[in-house]
Structure 1
Amino acid sequence: MRQPPRLVPVIVLACTLGLGLSGCTGSSGASPSSTAAPPGSPAAPGSPSSVAAQGLPAVPGIVKEVEPSVVTIRTAIGLGSGVVYRADGTIVTDAHVVEDQQKQPYKSVQVQFADGSEVAADVVGVDDVSDVAVIKAQRSNLPAATFSSSVPVVGELTVVLGSPLGLAETVTAGIVSALHRNMPASKESPKGITDLIQTDAPISPGNSGGAVVNGNGEVIGLSEAYLPPSSGAVAIGFVTPATTVTDVADELLKNGKAKHPSLGVVPTDITAQVAQRFNLPTTDGALILQVATGGPAEKAGINPGDIITTFAGKQIKTTLDLIAAIRGQEPGATVDITVRRGPDTKTFQVTLGNNG
């Protein structure tokens, strides 16, 4: 990945850590390990529902609201967690929770609900790129969780619900530590996983696929992985954003698979501090931190430090706008992208790649 020589160090902690990354499937299951978690970028400041501002006393009310929507998922080799997506028995979880050691999805799994009842569930679809899966339990009139449609803010309260080590209805709490973290390719995730949320809320084996909730009781993502204490880490966990989960789940339900058009960039929001530091005229747009070598953006001439303002005719004000615009295209589509580069405005034609 190419980076702008002086811009990136201000926004991203430019260091490489040789750390093992573990998935959070139950101990008897196959869990991702021995991958590194390279640094991501901080989020734009806002009005976070932080632990300090909101207070831990808010957690019991959040748990009471969300806990009925969190389930335990059991397979032949382990266990994980899941979240009720629709009242008709549709549940979302991590793909590695419902796959065997050869990365093949099971036909069915067992689901235990908060009331203690247990039923079979069919595996509807899995997407190994995002590590999202959908299963359908033989139950109806379930309490579906509310999924957030926006990106959380660094410092925002996070409440993790799941079944670590098989201990159902376990709750931990912390804050959003960072956004846009990436897991590199590994044996378990050959293409890696991008754009994860980092939290300091404790995540353990068995939490995979469980709910991570904000101060409003909205699911902001699913527990994905954690850095184990043996790596020297203290409370570093990773979460698949709700926006990714819902997009992929809806595609799996509709088409049986998810598409993954790729631009080949690492974007971030433009904070007020960054705009002031680099004398940017606005905080609108998606700032490009890195460009993948040989990727679609680089081939078209887009550089690190460029600010994307329009994508295929759609105005881009935030990173989420850019991600949504990319996901709205098909791999191989050619789109016009307008960027600000210093005082100039440039438009490029880019043919999107396929990360599927």
Structure 2
Amino acid sequence: MNTVFVRRVWPVVALLAVGLAGCTAPTSPAESTGSASSASATSGGTSPNSSPASGGTGLAAVPGVVKELEPSVVTIRTPIGLGSGVVYRSDGTLVTDAHVVEDQQKHAYKTVQVQFADGSQSQATVAGVDDVTDVAVLKVDRKGLPAPKYATGSPEIGSLTVVIGSPLGLDETVTAGIVSGLHRNMPPSQESPHGAIDLLQTDAPISPGNSGGAVSDANGQVIGLSEAYLPPSSGAVAIGFVTPASTVTSVADQLLTNGTVKHAALGVVPTDLTAQIAQRFGLSTTTGALIVDVTPHGPADNGGMKAGDIVTSLAGTKVANVTDLLAALRKQEPGQTVDVTVQRGGSAQTLKVTLGDLGQQG
């Protein structure tokens, strides 16, 4: 799956020439246009008087959502590009995607520049990042910011989505669509070494620079942050991914309280078990996550796992590939003891593994 994380925004002309390459955008010539009055909605056929409060439904609700939520969406500029963000708390706390505030080596900047919907700008401190979930928290020295409501549950498939951000440097751009799917997982990649787990899927257009911006429901409630999209070159049409609000709020609260986020760790290097690998090593199955390496004295090693094991189940969840393994692991807590079923040689074994904390590995 050739997924593009809405990383940095390249100049608009260059992007038109080479195709979309990320959810964050290198700085665009259009970035000087930005204020709330320059917003462009791609959701035609709406009533100018519709709003969440006025009972508008479908696309008729979009103008009201924009009026309510747009002041809470910001543009974030770094030395290598720009992305978007959303007010989290009125005390100057913002949230965005971690990759928006990181350099190409995934090192977080200490400070970034933030532009608000009214055109004013402030320097923001990067208060914390979590690369596993790709969520970051920023702090600006401003009070009384308009903090939106964040959803606590999953939206309904088919319900309205409104995306607000700064694609290609076009500040306060609005697109609309529907929730296309829930609980989408994406495998590890160079952009996302830990994979991307439990995402929402939407057909609302998402482009470079949208990353970290608000995705709302018809009531103006934030259901998540723009995360990634499949580019047209992959054969996809309008397939975008969103980090759910429940993940964003959980991670942001942990970063604000502790400075870190706890994630369960198994202490292994897995790879997908392909037919070619199975044939090469004479394996009897092509389903599961093949363990290439086990960290010495780590959780898996202490639990009896070995390189060459094929994980087929973790904590009662079937594992058909690495993405399944990561998704099952993400649901656990550090310190938990879980059953891990492995295929070793010609027999299956169930091992007891006490999980570690990813933040303390290595």
TM-score, length-scaled by structure 2: 0.66
Q: CA deviation at 1:54?
A: 2.4
Distance 2:317 2:246 in 1: 26
Q: CA deviation at 1:202?
A: 0.2
What is the aligned counterpart of 2:143 among 130, 140, 148?
A: 140
- Within the alignment, does 1:187 sit opposite 2:201 as a pair? no
Give the aligned residue type for 1:179: L
User: For 1:3-152, what aligned pairs fall within 5 Å after superposition?
Assistant: 18-27=1-10, 31=22, 54-152=57-155
Aligned to 2:49: none
* Higher mean C-alpha deviation, range 159-168 or range 255-264: 255-264
Instruction: Work out whether residues 263 and 326 of structure 1, in 8 Å CA contact, stay in contact via their aligned partners in 2.
Output: no
Distance 2:23 2:190 in 1: 8
Task: Provide the secondary structure at the position in 1 that maps to 2:199.
Answer: strand
Q: CA deviation at 1:147?
A: 0.5
Instruction: Work out whether residues 5 and 211 of structure 2, in 8 Å CA contact, stay in contact via their aligned partners in 1.
Output: no
Q: CA deviation at 1:334?
A: 2.8
Q: CA RMSD in A?
A: 3.4
What is the aligned counterpart of 2:250 among 236, 247, 250?
A: 247
Deviation per residue, 1:178-201 (Å, 9 max, x gap): 111122111121111111111000
User: For 1:226-241, what aligned pairs fall within 5 Å after superposition?
Assistant: 226-241=229-244
What is the aligned counterpart of 1:304 among 318, 330, 347?
A: 318
Distance 1:259 1:82 in 2: 23
Question: Structure 1 pair 332/144, CA: closer, same or farther in 2 (3 Å)?
Answer: same
- Within the alignment, does 1:257 sit opposite 2:257 as a pair? no
Task: Provide the secondary structure at the position in 1 that maps to 2:8.
Answer: coil
Aligned residues: 269
Aligned to 1:4: none
Task: Provide the secondary structure at the position in 2 that maps to 1:224.
Answer: strand
Distance 1:107 1:255 in 2: 18
Q: CA deviation at 1:215?
A: 1.1
Instruction: Work out whether residues 24 and 203 of structure 1, in 8 Å CA contact, stay in contact via their aligned partners in 2.
Output: no
TM-score, length-scaled by structure 1: 0.67
Instruction: Work out whether residues 71 and 113 of structure 1, in 8 Å CA contact, stay in contact via their aligned partners in 2.
Output: yes
What is the aligned counterpart of 1:171 among 155, 162, 174?
A: 174
Distance 1:84 1:299 in 2: 40
Q: CA deviation at 1:298?
A: 5.4
Deviation per residue, 1:164-184 (Å, 9 max, x gap): 111111100000101111221
Give the aligned residue type for 1:205: P
Deviation per residue, 1:223-259 (Å, 9 max, x gap): 0011111222111100000010000001111111111
Aligned to 2:199: 196
Instruction: Work out whether residues 24 and 223 of structure 1, in 8 Å CA contact, stay in contact via their aligned partners in 2.
Output: no
Question: Structure 1 pair 173/125, CA: closer, same or farther in 2 (3 Å)?
Answer: same
Distance 2:202 2:82 in 1: 22
What is the aligned counterpart of 2:220 among 217, 220, 230?
A: 217
Task: Provide the secondary structure at the position in 2 that maps to 1:230.
Answer: helix
Distance 2:79 2:2 in 1: 29
Instruction: Work out whether residues 176 and 197 of structure 1, in 8 Å CA contact, stay in contact via their aligned partners in 2.
Output: yes
Instruction: Work out whether residues 96 and 137 of structure 2, in 8 Å CA contact, stay in contact via their aligned partners in 1.
Output: yes
Task: Provide the secondary structure at the position in 2 that maps to 1:68.
Answer: helix
Q: CA deviation at 1:333?
A: 2.3
What is the aligned counterpart of 1:333 among 324, 331, 336?
A: 336
Distance 1:238 1:300 in 2: 26
Which structure: larger Rg? 2
Instruction: Work out whether residues 262 and 352 of structure 1, in 8 Å CA contact, stay in contact via their aligned partners in 2.
Output: yes
Give the aligned residue type for 2:191: E
Question: Structure 1 pair 117/197, CA: closer, same or farther in 2 (3 Å)?
Answer: same
Give the aligned residue type for 1:302: G
Give the aligned residue type for 1:215: A
Distance 1:303 1:194 in 2: 15
Question: Structure 1 pair 123/139, CA: closer, same or farther in 2 (3 Å)?
Answer: same
Question: Structure 1 pair 179/198, CA: closer, same or farther in 2 (3 Å)?
Answer: same
Task: Provide the secondary structure at the position in 1 that maps to 2:318.
Answer: coil
Structure 1: any 5+ residue segments left out of the alignment? 1-17, 34-48, 265-289, 306-321, 337-347
Deviation per residue, 1:87-135 (Å, 9 max, x gap): 0110000001000111111110010001110010000011111000000
Q: CA deviation at 1:332?
A: 2.5
Instruction: Work out whether residues 76 and 85 of structure 2, in 8 Å CA contact, stay in contact via their aligned partners in 1.
Output: yes
Task: Provide the secondary structure at the position in 2 that maps to 1:143.
Answer: coil
